[in-house]
Amino acid sequence: MCELFCFSGSSATANTDLTPYLKEFFSHCPRHPNGWGLADFSVCPAVMYKESLRAGDSELLSTLLRRGVSSSSLFAHIRCATEGSVRRENSHPFRGADATGRTWTLIHNGTIFDGLELIKYRAVQKGDTDSERILLYLLDRINCETNRLGRDLTLLERCGVVDAMVRRLSYRNKLNLMIHDGARMYVHYNMKNTLYCVEDQNGICVATTPLGEEDWRPLPLTVLSVYERGKLVFRGGNHKNEYLPGGLEELHRYEYYI
């Protein structure tokens, strides 16, 4: 599959040196050789880098890590392709704007085995991954709710839309997600032992596997958690759609493409 990493810092102005975490994270690239990506939200507009080659072979990433990476808010991703070809358009993160101009960024670890709602986005997406289709689906859900209310959504309303989306798409699918709405991070996973966090005075880091010897602990499973400046600001209900590898979903993984 893939690996995910994010950081939500406790300060909007003071950056934290994330280089040690990122060096450890990207060192896992031999198992995830089909692309890498990095999004830094501490600057406006956010800076995003991504390539379709193995992270360890990237001169760009090597330069970034050699200079050091400090941020107050950041995503990182390494890809092991299970859906979609190996090209830059399929590397994470994926980014798009809703009807109000708010920019959303998404990284994903998993596979959508059952997702009829996503089929229509194959005609408009830039690449051919299910992950990009999840972002397009989310933007549509945000826009529909915005149109229904006739105004921009509040934080609670945006959280509600994302929570409803993960509740629906997590059924029969592996849906480990990190989403950024320009100010906050939305984190969700539904496969046990595939997302851990560590917190200190600088903020919170979340990663697919622990990065270092600190006291990493699992996040709540099958629950959406939303962070702003390193603090939890929303937690959804437990939808209990745990993904169990090797189940019937994998035997019928191509059903919704027919």
Query: For each successive 10 residues of the chain (258 residues), what is the average pLDDT?
Result: 94 92 97 96 95 97 98 96 87 97 97 91 95 98 98 98 98 97 97 97 97 95 98 97 76 40
Domain 3-257 sits in CATH at 3.60.20.10
Task: Tell me if the bond preceding 45 is cis, omega within 30° of 0.
Answer: yes
Residue pair 244/192 in contact (Cβ under 8 Å)? The answer is no
Give me the pLDDT at residue 247, please: 61
Torsion-angle region of 231 (φ positive above 0: left; ψ -120 to 50: alpha; else: beta): beta
Q: Which two tokens stand for residue 29?
A: 């690239």
Distance CA 10, CA 13 (A): 9
Distance CA 114, CA 257 (A): 9
Q: Which two tokens stand for residue 224?
A: 């959406």
- pTM (two decimals): 0.94
Give me the pLDDT at residue 83, please: 76
